[in-house]
Every structure is written in C-alpha cells, then in structure tokens.
C-alpha cells in the first residue's frame, strides 16, 4: 500500500531554497534578474511603442504586435495597483499550484512534475482548447523570490517567474507545446496611519505582469489576438480579486 502511494505522489518539496548546485540555478537567476532590472528602467517615452488594449481603473494592459513566420508573438505587459494586499500575498497565490485552478480560467489541468527546491518546481499545464486551433500544453519551472529594494527608497520586490523548460516525464507530442516567459513582479506600498496601526486599508500592491508567449505552431492570428485581448484583462481582474478575497480575513503577510 505504502509503495503504491509513493509511486503516485510527486516527491515532496525539499525544505531548502534553490541552491547553486541545482542544474537550473544559473538559468533561474539570470531570468529573474532580467525581470527585476526591467522594473527599474524608467520608460523614456517608450510607452508609445506599446499599444493599450485594456484600461479599467488602475489596470492597464499593453501589447506590441510581433509576428514571426506567421506566428503571433505579441509581448504583453500589464500594470495594476490593488489595495488591501501585499506583493508577498499576490506572488504566493500566483505561485502556489494548490490554488491555481481556483483562479485560472484557461486551463484543463495543472500538475507538479518535479520539485527543485522549496521555492521552485516544474509543472505541466494543459490549456483548454480554443476552436479552431489544436490544443496546447506548457512545461515550465516556476520560481518565487523575495528581493530587497535597489535603494533605500525602493520597496522590496516579490517576484514569480514562469519559464518554459523540457522535462523527460512530459514528452512533447500529444499537444502543441506553448513556450513562455511570464513574470509577476510586485512592490508593496504602505501609507502608515496617524495611529501607527497598519491595516489592509493602508496597503497597496503595485503589480507588473509580463507575458512573452510563443503559441508553438500556427494558430490563426486574429483568433489568438482576440483571445489575448479578452483573457489577459480577465485574468488580471479575476486573479487579483481572488487574492483579495482569500486574504481579507487573514493576518497581513508582509
């Protein structure tokens, strides 16, 4: 009996942060640093190269149209500010696969393939089929990290990166394999009240979300762009209100 369970269950997460001896260590650090540097780059009139595809309150979603051999590679970025939640809470809920299906509307399934460390695992997403394209899947490592601010004035950063990789236990072929480089980067702003008692009303989370997705094989550009235009704003609204609901009655996780 015990054996059966052991075979079926993925090995539990090691209780240790990602170590230099891990084969993914260098790649993960490089990709994470690139994302973190990006948030400190002040946009020098660069905003006009991004087309705004949705704006609702504090939420703004931008894209850039890029095609390669007829495949849509449009990079996407979104900024949002949400009150009542911290960057740690946002990143935790984005990273924790146990709650992924509670807010992800575009997936058929999502499974852990391998734990690399306490803060990193490889997972397999099977994406819902979108007519008339073939069904897609994705294999990626997902890593969560807390980084001090660049200077004394800059708030700390919480970040999650989802970055495509291969894994022997999920052979390519059953679906069209999507590749991605997705980052959720957060900073928490606190406006301390006069009485010094910080509640959720005094907390704001500045979110920057970016997604570079290659749909891996042909998909009709107009359908894909319509899906993106609908699904990314929907995801950002649904996900952030999910985090607000999930944390509202809990102690603030700074």
Instruction: Give me the residues that bind ligand 6CM (CB under 6 A), please.
Output: 100, 104, 106, 125, 127, 130, 133, 136, 162, 178, 180, 182, 211, 213, 215, 219-220, 223-224, 227, 231-232, 235
Work out the burial of residue 105: count CB atoms within 10 Å of its CB; fewer than 13 is exposed, 13-18 middle, 19 or more buried: exposed
Closer of 203 and 215 to ligand 6CM (Cβ): 215
3 by DSSP, 3-state: which? helix
Q: What is the DSSP letter of 153?
A: T
In 10 A of CB 182, how many CB atoms? 20
Closer of 108 and 231 to ligand 6CM (Cβ): 231
Measured from each CB, the residue nearest to ligand 6CM is: 231
Torsional class of 112: left (φ above 0), alpha (ψ -120 to 50), beta (otherwise)? beta
Closest distance between ligand 6CM and the C-beta of residue 102, in Å? Answer: 12
Closest distance between ligand 6CM and the C-beta of residue 128, in Å? Answer: 8
Task: Give the residue among 223, 231, 233 at the shortest CA–CA distance from 131.
Answer: 223
Closest distance between ligand 6CM and the C-beta of residue 48, in Å? Answer: 24
Closer of 18 and 139 to ligand 6CM (Cβ): 139
Closest distance between ligand 6CM and the C-beta of residue 6, in Å? Answer: 27
Closer of 27 and 191 to ligand 6CM (Cβ): 27
Query: How far apart are alpha carbons 11 and 45 in whole angstroms?
Result: 48
b/e per residue 75-84 (b: at least 16 CB within 10 A): ebbbbbebeb
Query: Given the DSSP bridges, would you call strands 203-214 and 157-164 parallel, antiparallel or unpaired?
Result: unpaired
Closest distance between ligand 6CM and the C-beta of residue 230, in Å? Answer: 8
Query: How far apart are alpha carbons 96 and 105 in whole angstroms?
Result: 16
Closer of 136 and 206 to ligand 6CM (Cβ): 136
Closest distance between ligand 6CM and the C-beta of residue 198, in Å? Answer: 30
Closer of 19 and 241 to ligand 6CM (Cβ): 241
């Amino acid at each position: 009996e015990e054996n059966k369970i052991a075979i079926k269950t993925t090995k539990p997460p090691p209780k240790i942060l990602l170590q230099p001896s891990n084969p993914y260590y260098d790649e993960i650090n490089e990709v994470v640093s690139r994302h973190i540097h990006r948030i400190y780059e002040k946009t020098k009139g660069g905003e006009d190269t991004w087309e705004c595809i949705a704006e609702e309150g504090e939420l703004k979603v931008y894209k850039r149209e890029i095609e390669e051999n007829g495949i849509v590679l449009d990079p996407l970025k979104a900024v949002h500010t949400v009150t009542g939640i911290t960057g740690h809470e946002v990143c935790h809920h984005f990273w924790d696969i146990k709650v992924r299906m509670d807010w992800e509307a575009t997936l058929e399934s999502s499974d852990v393939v391998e734990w690399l460390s306490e803060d990193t695992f490889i997972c397999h997403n099977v994406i819902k089929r979108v007519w008339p394209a073939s069904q897609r899947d994705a294999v990626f490592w997902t890593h969560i990290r807390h980084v001090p601010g660049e200077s004394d004035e800059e708030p700390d950063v919480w970040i999650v990166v989802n970055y495509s990789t291969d894994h022997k236990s999920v052979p390519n072929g059953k679906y069209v394999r999507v590749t991605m480089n997705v980052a959720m980067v957060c900073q928490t702003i606190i406006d301390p009240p006069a009485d010094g008692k910080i509640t959720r009303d005094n907390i704001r989370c500045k979110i920057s979300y970016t997604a570079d997705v290659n749909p891996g094989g042909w998909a009709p550009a107009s359908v894909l762009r319509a899906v993106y235009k609908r699904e990314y704003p929907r995801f950002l609204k649904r996900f952030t209100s999910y985090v607000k609901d999930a944390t509202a009655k809990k102690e603030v996780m700074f």
